[in-house]
Amino acid sequence: MTQIGSPAPEWRISEWLNSDEMLTLEALRGKVVVAFAFQMLCPGCVQESIPQAKRVHETFDGNAVATIGLHTVFEHHEAMRPVSLRAFLHENRIRFPVGVDAHEGDDPLPVTMRAYRMQGTPTLLLIDGAGRLRRQAFGHVPDLALGAEIMALIAQR
Amino acid sequence: MTQIGSPAPEWRISEWLNSDEMLTLEALRGKVVVAFAFQMLCPGCVQESIPQAKRVHETFDGNAVATIGLHTVFEHHEAMRPVSLRAFLHENRIRFPVGVDAHEGDDPLPVTMRAYRMQGTPTLLLIDGAGRLRRQAFGHVPDLALGAEIMALIAQR
Amino acid sequence: MTQIGSPAPEWRISEWLNSDEMLTLEALRGKVVVAFAFQMLCPGCVQESIPQAKRVHETFDGNAVATIGLHTVFEHHEAMRPVSLRAFLHENRIRFPVGVDAHEGDDPLPVTMRAYRMQGTPTLLLIDGAGRLRRQAFGHVPDLALGAEIMALIAQR
Amino acid sequence: MTQIGSPAPEWRISEWLNSDEMLTLEALRGKVVVAFAFQMLCPGCVQESIPQAKRVHETFDGNAVATIGLHTVFEHHEAMRPVSLRAFLHENRIRFPVGVDAHEGDDPLPVTMRAYRMQGTPTLLLIDGAGRLRRQAFGHVPDLALGAEIMALIAQR
């Protein structure tokens, strides 16, 4: 895991869905970034993390908070190709940008997942307006705590 | 929709998962068949129908009741190929047999779905021990009613 | 616990709510009786058992199945007097008959609860059309199994 | 409704449960006060508001946030006497202080409920560290928004 408080490593994305531009952490500087790393066939992601991401996207002002999905596929690679992810986003009415975490060589772990030393999916990343990683959580974070943490970062901008 | 009380049309399956043999309605005669037609990327199926199918499979004696999944893909065909379905079953710990409804020519609707004139997914089929279709329901059927309907068919065998 | 298959002990009720007549097991002979013993301040009853009782009441034909509540108060007696129970039924839109299990002398356990040797609340009783106790369960019974069990008793009438 | 941003009217409490001292808004100055007005037999309170109050109590540091229940009985008065409320708190493992909103004369509405012009239960009050009412909401406020609002008031202290 990247050290909390350190600059968040730039992600490496092979394709963006729900976004016309290549979104970088660099370009999002000034906003609080709430990133949900998920796999479309991970049950905990589908049941908990994706609905929570939608609530974050609907609750917070997009000028202050960027809600981002990261599709970090580390298993069943053939099953979760972008063509399947695209249908998944459509069917689940996911409107926020989702980046496909890039693969390099034969490594089953995608690049961003490895850079953050994520333990699995779902993983939540909170990045402050200065681009520092402030929280990384594997598994479910309750809404009440997440709302408070996001607001604490908004207040510090 | 096939007329209720008429012989249930034999399904046409291109591939079975979680089963070593080709399961036919003919061969299941004598058992009550509870079949769940679904698509792996249909949110209502994932949230309601698949968990219910798992409960049916765990609650009823397999000698009396056959719990069957039918993967009736009528949209996003590229997104829900058997390779993706296989990972979906694995990740969601689905142990009952699932048949991939066969496609014919250019028809986006698979053969079994068309034979039963299903309106969409999820669709529930209840077939009695004599092979007659006794109930076809588009959407969610509450557990309490479903438990009662299955038992009524068991009692009539 | 009363032996399964034996005649169900007649209940002793000090007051009926949602019913103009004194309901006896004797008078309900011929129907399947689904009785939910509960306390209005027992969280498991409020969250699981009472909503399930409402579903049973709405799902099954009243000519075949009698849905009954039994208010078996064995603790916090002053807190759950009939005046409070009456408001509870009103606020929760409970329409099926609820009998207040009678107390005798100083015994904190009410008479019916003692007769059935219930272990606590919620407790479910299933009584067949011949007045025999067929199932007694402390805690939650899933809807799917309950629907099947009720229908099995209906089929045997 | 009291004007948002104005000093929150002091509440009038006839009895405190889960607290040895009479808690006043005056004495809580410096903390963010999250007050949940409820009735113990109001289904929306039991299902949504009380569980949320417990989560607030468990999530936030008691030095920064005071979680308070207000039992604002305006109907079924006989059914919800303090003896019943006390059992309700015990059974539902509610540990935060709960004040019984005082009644005056024949008025069915209790004094605090009238002072805030509440429309019913549940009602949420957010009061900042300076004693100003910052939010009053009738009905359910989602956890994500509530967490953010509480943190915004903490940040302003």
pLDDT digits (tens, 9 = 90+) for D105-125: 999 999 999 999 999 999 999
Query: pLDDT, tens digit, for every residue of D48-69?
Result: 999 999 999 999 999 999 999 9
What residue ranges do the domains of chain A occupy?
Answer: 13-156
Decide: B40 and B85 in contact? Cβ < 8 Å: yes
pLDDT for the residue numbered A1:
60
Kindly state the tokens that stand for A66: 């960027």
Which of B144, B154, B155 lies closest to C147 in CB terms?
Answer: B144
How far apart are alpha carbons D21 and B141 in whole angstroms? 52
pLDDT for the residue numbered C4:
86
pTM score = 0.95
Complex-level ipTM: 0.95
Q: What angle do CA B135, B28, B136 make, to 5 degrees?
A: 10
Instruction: Please say whether the dihedral angle defined by the alpha carbons of residues D105, D108, D113 and D118, taken in this order, is positive or negative.
Output: negative
Q: Tell me: domain C13-156, CATH 3.40.50.1580, correct?
A: no
Query: pLDDT, tens digit, for every residue of D16-56?
Result: 999 999 999 999 999 999 999 999 999 999 999 999 999 99
pLDDT for the residue numbered D157:
85
| C90 vs D contacts (CB less than 8 Å) | 76
Query: pLDDT, tens digit, for every residue of C84-126?
Result: 999 999 999 999 999 999 999 999 999 999 999 999 999 999 9
Provide the residue type at B61 as one letter.
D
Q: Do D83 and C79 touch (CB under 8 A)?
A: yes
Decide: D35 and D127 in contact? Cβ < 8 Å: yes
Decide: A50 and A38 in contact? Cβ < 8 Å: yes
Kindly state the tokens that stand for C77: 């007696």
* Smallest Cα distance from B145 to chain A, Å: 25
Q: Which chains, if any, share at least 3 CB pairs under 8 A with chain A?
A: B, D
Q: Do D79 and C92 touch (CB under 8 A)?
A: no
